[in-house]
Amino acid sequence: MTTPLNSSPDGQQTEAVIAAGMASGDTESVMRAVATAEIVVPQAPSADADGIPDGSISLPVIEQDGTSYVPVFTSESTMATAAPDIEDAVSVSAAELAANWPDDELWLAVNPGTEDGLTLPPDAVRSLPTYVDGPPA
């Protein structure tokens, strides 16, 4: 599920598609861009690293106004700009993460702290895999 981080222009292209889709109100293109992205998930240092199975990731959770979010970024450079204190992260497929979404109360925050950041409620997160091959019918 996890892969090492790498810097690529794909994140910037994803960010551009998301921004354009949000500006034009094209929800389908935004969802497709998020669904097909390799996202960067911050990893908090864990005192119990031995208890985490190989290939697993630890989802960070932030809370704002009573809502819990998992923050993710579309590129390593966006994460470094928005959250410079993060020292460790992994790259994962957004669709794969969504297919294994752990909680019906947990939202996804894509590029939090940026001008084009967006949040997705749990039902939208769980629908992301359907956008990989096109919008749901």
If residue 40 lies in a helix (H) or strand (E), which one and from where to where?
strand 38-42
67 pLDDT more than 90:
yes
Residue 95: how many CB atoms within 10 A of its CB? 20
Which of 67, 50, 56, 70 has its CA nearest to residue 111? 70
What residue type is 67 in one-letter code?
T
pLDDT bin (cut points 50, 70, 90) of residue 35 is: very high
Task: Note whether 39 and 90 are within 8 A (CB).
Answer: no
User: For every residue of 43-77, which 3-state class applies, written as one string?
Assistant: CCCCCCHHHCCCCCCCCCCEEECCEEEEEEECCHH
Structural domains in the chain, CATH included, are: 10-44+59-131 (3.40.1350)
C-alpha closest to that of 13 among 58, 63, 64, 77: 77
Lowest-pLDDT choice from 32-41, 51-60, 114-123: 51-60
- Tell me the CB-side half-sphere exposure of residue 43, using CA atoms within 13 A: 20
Band of residue 94 on the pLDDT scale cut at 50, 70, 90: very high
**Does residue 64 surpass a pLDDT of 70?**
yes
In tens, the pLDDT along 104-115 reads 999 999 999 999
Nearby residues of 111 by Cβ (< 8 Å), 6 or more positions away: 15, 18, 72, 73, 74, 78, 82, 117, 118
Sheet holding 62-64, edge to edge: 62-64, 67-72, 106-110, 118-120
26: pLDDT strictly greater than 90:
yes
Query: Model's pTM, two decimal places?
Result: 0.84
